A = this chain, B = another copy of it.
Amino acid sequence: MTLDAVFKYIDDNLEQSIEDVMAYCRLPTVSAHGTAIEETAGYTVALLGEEGFETRIIPKRGDGFPVVWAEQKGRRADKTLLFYNHYDVQPPDPLEEWTSPPFAPERRGDAVYGRGVSDDKGNIVSRMLAIRALKAVYGSLPCNVRFCIEGDEEIGSPQIAPFMKEHGEMFQADACVWEWGYALWDGSPTLMLGAKGLLCVDIEVDGPNRDVHSSYGTVIPNPAWRLAWALSSIKTPDEKILIDGFYDGVKTPTEEELATLRMLPDDGSMFLESLGLHDAVLGVKDVDYRRRHIFEPTCTINGLTSGYQGKGTKTVLPSRASAKVDFRLVDDQDPDDVLAKLQRHLARYGFEDASILQSSSERAARTDMHDPFIAVAQRAAVDAYGREAFIVPSMAATGPMFHFVKDLGLPAVMAGINYVGGRDHAPDEHVRIEDYRRGTKHIAAILHRFAE
């Protein structure tokens, strides 16, 4: 028994699938702005329906957007694989830095560009192709397949915790394939086994009730200065996060985990070069680079806003200043606990003029590298890529994996069409066609091997 016919089907239908990705990505489904949500949920249901899935659109309570549920029975009734995806995308700005418009996807050379082609709509369409290929060759799916496709992952999956409490049963399975999977620059596959947690906040400092002539800088408190000082009290140039107790719950990597890092090629220097940079933070290289990236928590300024930002000068003292800041959390760090500690930190340092608005949070989760499902995904990697995948204990990014790994008790692995240079969340987000081909075959092979 062989996957050759399935892979041939994928090769033969690849171009049409890329067209399907581009059509899907014309929808500007920016969850941060609440645009095209219902339309895209409906479009997603239609995509799944065409492949024979039973579907439902389940609303989240409160702030969240609807979740698309789908199910299709397979030959092995006792095994169910769950795919987690999301149909929303990041905001497209800065618009002027896109080579082609973010919501008018374009094929250029050996890649396809557009918001969502990599993160995450491209993966949804790729999974449809893998499923179609298996059914074309075998007449049915090898096992039961379920989908959980969120509409608000990019704003931190609000309400996912109560949603899973209420509807978790519908997403029960034996294993989970996460939203994406990353090839390295040279096309080598990886199997990522976890996701970091996340806490997103706006730190806003209020000053005078209006902008004031800057000559009053002698006497009128300046919220932009207060913000700069507040931020500098949180993290220092040596990258130490000074919030008391912030590192509680962070574990030291095991020898076995560090060994996986040593096996990985040095992608860091290539990534730095692609960004026009010479040095990583603190000058870390190779294994130290990957150790920071995979195992360390972060505190990152996402944006700063205050006062006059136009061209030329405007000598004002601004009435307010704000920073968007995210924390990527690891291991047992609890975002609620970090938020409380941040609030205490600002109070202790006298920043009573600063207020914190929490916009989203998520906990970290990881799957044990000895779980049998990892071996399944590894065998499938050999099928699709002709080589074993590199094991990566966690991705540096976040998703609501905690609710599947901890609440539902599923092993989860990341497999898909992405590569590390794909500019997710940034202008010119793209997927390489060859990664799309291999990643789609990997998904088909996982389904096949999982049912063996």
Contact = CB atoms under 8 A, between A and B. Distances in A.
A360 B314 CA distance: 11
A421 B78 CA distance: 77
A200 B313 contact: yes
A369 to B, nearest CB: 20
A293 B215 CA distance: 8
Interface in A300-316: 300-316
A304 B306 contact: yes
A303 B311 CA distance: 11
B314 A90 contact: yes
A359 interface: yes
A397 interface: yes
A397 B213 contact: yes
Interface in A8-54: 31-33
A49 B396 CA distance: 70
A267 to B, nearest CB: 11
A333 B71 CA distance: 74
A314 B232 contact: no
A207 B304 CA distance: 15
Interface string A341-383: 0000000001000000001100000000000000000000000
A414 interface: no
A446 B125 CA distance: 80
A208 interface: yes
Contact of A279 (B221, B424, B425): B221
B303 A318 contact: yes
A216 B225 CA distance: 27
Interface in A212-262: 212-222, 224-225, 227-229, 231-232, 235-237
Nearest to A223: B301
A76 to B, nearest CB: 36
B275 A208 contact: yes
A241 to B, nearest CB: 11
Interface stretch (A91-99, A138-146, A159-167): A91-99
A211 interface: yes
Contact of A219 (B214, B222, B293, B314): B293
Contacts of A155: 312-313
Contact of A216 (B227, B293, B324): B293
A419 to B, nearest CB: 13
A362 to B, nearest CB: 11
Contact of A303 (B231, B309, B427): B309
A216 to B, nearest CB: 7
Instruction: Determine how many copies of this chain the complex contains.
Output: 2
A312 B359 contact: yes
A370 to B, nearest CB: 25
Contacts of A385: none
Contacts of A304: 224, 227-228, 304-307, 309, 321
A157 to B, nearest CB: 11
Contact of A298 (B33, B91, B218, B326): B218
A415 interface: no
B225 A235 contact: yes
A306 B427 CA distance: 15
A60 interface: no
A209 interface: yes
A292 interface: yes
Contacts of A75: none
Interface of A: 31-33, 90-91, 93-94, 97, 154-156, 196, 198, 200, 207-222, 224-225, 227-229, 231-232, 235-237, 268, 272, 275-277, 279-281, 284, 289, 292-293, 296, 298-318, 321, 323-324, 326, 328, 350, 359-360, 395-398, 423-428
17 contacts: A32-B312, A32-B313, A90-B314, A91-B308, A207-B277, A209-B277, A213-B424, A213-B425, A214-B326, A217-B298, A220-B281, A228-B301, A228-B304, A300-B315, A313-B324, A314-B324, A315-B425
Which 6 A-B pairs rank lowest in CB-CB distance, beginning with the nearest?
A: A32-B312, A217-B300, A303-B307, A224-B301, A208-B275, A217-B298
